[in-house]
Structure 1
Amino acid sequence: MTASRITRLTLTHFRNYRAAVLTTSAERVVLVGANGAGKTNCLEAISFLSPGRGLRRATLDDVADNEGDGSWAVAAEVEGALGLATLGTGIDPPRADAATSRRCRIDREPVGSATAFGDHLRMVWLTPAMDGLFMGAASERRRFFDRLVLAIDSQHSGRVSALDRSLRSRNRLLEVRYPDAHWLDAIERETAELAVAVAAMRGQTAMRLAAMLDARGAASAFPSAKIMLDGWMESALLTEPATAVEDRYRTILREGRPRDAAAGRTLDGPHLTDLEVVYAPKAMPARDASTGEQKALLIGLVLAHAQLVSEMTGITPLLLLDEVVAHLDPSRRAALFEELAKLGAQVWMTGADPAAFAEIGSGAEIFTVESGRIRPQQ
């Protein structure tokens, strides 16, 4: 099993970091400092070394240092699935006559997109913004689950984006009073193909993650969960040929044109799938669990997912855990540190109170973050 690790991180004009360098060989990297010092910004920078928009889903312009020229860069020397490599991403100073585009490089050579980073690093993260996941909208849970899938299949976000574009094209065409039927047929054929590809990977991941959660069971200090996807297509693909499901969805789209035209959107498909989570120890929906139980459930889910990524890809993912230990009692905090050590992953953690990491054990390195500066704790 190959572990994803960062040995050197360089930030240039990223958020509140004008220029910062962090070098480490540790299994667990801890960033401590006051609120607003830049701890989460550092994790966000790392998250840009994976496909997508980072752990805050920020726009490219939003993460630039306010005092700079609008450009920013993140670079890391990594030990990953393909050995040693240098990954880099960022944007050039914005120009009025050109759209902002993100540049990605591996060993200083341009690559088409951040999807290529997945060959070197796999990444999983947990942030305070996810604490309301079980109470929030289905779209948030769907986006959360798609990130889990992305850690296994680095092409997944591209397919999800392509499906969204195809659905928008169909919706625009349905706005026309007398749309071209042949053109609609072509768009719906493309939509059905993409929908099945997205749903199939989601369904496979959900099935395997559910089995991993069952296997962890009572052996973990974090409660087990029962998970399932609330989407007919994901369920159908577990027992039916993809071609049959694709044909059925094309029929649904064709017959649903008047309804979808009136609604202004497509009312059936995997773009509406929800993730259902049950708090297993009490056999109740996660949304009905207490705040503490939901937090523990999320941690257990992310730990199980990290194990699944290792099994399915042969790459132990990098973990980014933002302010995870702050609300854990001492026994559960110790249990988390123990599970992270067993996982064999490099873990980056943040917290305001250094005392919360007193029991993290050997193999950890603690850095102090202050006003966009990072230095090893003495």
Structure 2
Amino acid sequence: MQAGPRITRLTLTSFRNHARTDLRFTEPLVAFTGPNGAGKTNILEAISLLSPGRGLRRAKLADMCSSDGAGGFAVSAELVPMDHEEGDDPITIGTGITAPDTSSREVRIDKVPAKSSDALLEHLICLWLTPAMDGLFTGGTSDRRRFYDRMVMALHPTHGRTATRFETAMRARNKMMDEGVTDPVWFEGVEAQMAEAGAAMQAARLSTLSLLKQAIEEARGAVSAFPHAVLDLAGFDISDEQVYRARLAEGRHRDRAAGRTLEGPHRADLLVRHGPKDVEAKLASTGEQKALLIGLVLAQARLVKRETGRAAILLLDEIAAHLDERRRTALFALCTDLGGQTFMTGTDRALFESLPDDADQFEVRDGTATPWSFT
């Protein structure tokens, strides 16, 4: 039985190359196929905006607007929630902007404006994997930290706001150092804000890490198609507010010389090892890294379901291209077992031949999505 929630309708208006796309879904597995540049990833990006943040591309809002110069864009979805009963109307959630120079997007739930995009987490949790993330294990620390913080936010909805508070206070502290401010009272005020937010961030990260390790360990035997990851955090280890506040005060002279804050949650890094081979993930082959990353996202999805009672929406962009048939079949089965909804893209329809016969499949061309006909 599907745990839900489930998107039954998705509408894109003036979103990238989709002038008007209206899609209906009835099944937990959804595949979009078509040539590069057709607009497949744009559909997944639109769904990702139904969660807090900047979406799976982290693009500017103006770049999401249709190229016809009309101005803004809109994304809306009809959602069947967990407690849906027969005869109930679906929940409508949506987001968008009215002009390309808008600094933030509007969010509406059942046509009522929400205070922030965090309200979307009450209805929908999105997890995604894109080709841009294939180099996660060999890339920079900031990419892994951002990836992990999205994992944390799925279980701690205020984590994103806490991170913003920390970054704002840290920028103020760095600016004071750059301008030669020496008054300790000024620093104490800003450092108190940093310590409160920084310790809360670290506590949420550590809590999520413990639960994620447990979820990975519990599923090791059942998810043999994808290697398990061994995880740890490095770069910052303080989850006590008073301890971090004292360390900030002690480090003022050092930080002033460096021109930046050297210690804090902004220096954390997610360490990942390939479990079966017991090597750092960055030393594994490209194919092994891809499989490891998929396994990690699936583990996060299992954890979200266990801790929240709701299945996450998975967005898997160009997911099947580098997997053999055995792993593709295993992936589709595992996504089904999660009880949620999975949206996938690929250039070749043959990559999805092992999908269940009743899966929703669409062909996308020039910003238009058409259901596949199997007759």
**TM-score with structure 2 setting the length:** 0.95
Aligned match for 1:255, one of 250, 259, 282: 250
1:225 counterpart = 2:220: no
**Aligned twin of 1:109:** 112
Question: Which string of whole-angstrom CA distances, capped at 9 and with x for unpartnered residues, describes residues 88-132 of structure 1?
Answer: 11111246xxx5331110011111111101100011111111100
Aligned match for 2:98, one of 86, 92, 100: 92
**Aligned twin of 1:149:** 152
Question: Which string of whole-angstrom CA distances, capped at 9 and with x for unpartnered residues, describes residues 21-63 of structure 1?
Answer: 0011111111010000000010000100100000000111111
1:306 counterpart = 2:301: yes
Instruction: State the shift of 1:261 in Å.
Output: 1.4
**Aligned twin of 1:121:** 124
SS at match of 2:198: helix
SS at match of 2:220: helix
SS at match of 2:321: helix
* Higher mean C-alpha deviation, range 77-86 or range 20-29: 77-86
**Aligned twin of 1:137:** 140
* Higher mean C-alpha deviation, range 287-296 or range 74-83: 74-83
**Aligned twin of 2:67:** 66
Q: Is the 8 A contact 1:209 1:305 kept in 2?
A: yes
**Aligned twin of 2:241:** 246
How many pairs were matched up?
366
SS at match of 1:90: strand
Runs of 4+ in structure 1 over 6 Å off? none
**Aligned twin of 2:285:** 290
Q: Is the 8 A contact 1:82 1:119 kept in 2?
A: no
1:212 counterpart = 2:215: yes
Partner Cα distance (2:179, 2:192) in 1? 19
**Aligned twin of 1:241:** none
**Aligned twin of 1:22:** 23
Partner Cα distance (1:178, 1:322) in 2? 48
Partner Cα distance (2:26, 2:121) in 1? 21
**Aligned twin of 2:314:** 319
Instruction: State the shift of 1:219 in Å.
Output: 2.4
**Aligned twin of 1:13:** 14
Instruction: State the shift of 1:156 in Å.
Output: 1.3
**Aligned twin of 1:264:** 259
Partner Cα distance (2:329, 2:280) in 1? 27
Instruction: State the shift of 1:232 in Å.
Output: 3.8
Q: Is the 8 A contact 1:76 1:88 kept in 2?
A: yes
Instruction: State the shift of 1:82 in Å.
Output: 6.0
The one-letter amino acid of 2:211's match is: R
Question: Which string of whole-angstrom CA distances, capped at 9 and with x for unpartnered residues, describes residues 47-90 of structure 1?
Answer: 00100000000111111111132211100001234643101111
The one-letter amino acid of 2:30's match is: V
SS at match of 1:326: coil
Instruction: State the shift of 1:175 in Å.
Output: 1.6
1:4 counterpart = 2:8: no
**Aligned twin of 1:41:** 42
**Aligned twin of 1:337:** 332
Instruction: State the shift of 1:179 in Å.
Output: 3.1
| Unmatched segments (≥5 aa) in structure 2 | 85-89
The one-letter amino acid of 1:79's match is: V
The one-letter amino acid of 1:64's match is: C
| Unmatched segments (≥5 aa) in structure 1 | 238-244
Q: Percent identity?
A: 48
**Aligned twin of 1:373:** 368
Instruction: State the shift of 1:5 in Å.
Output: 1.3
1:166 counterpart = 2:169: yes
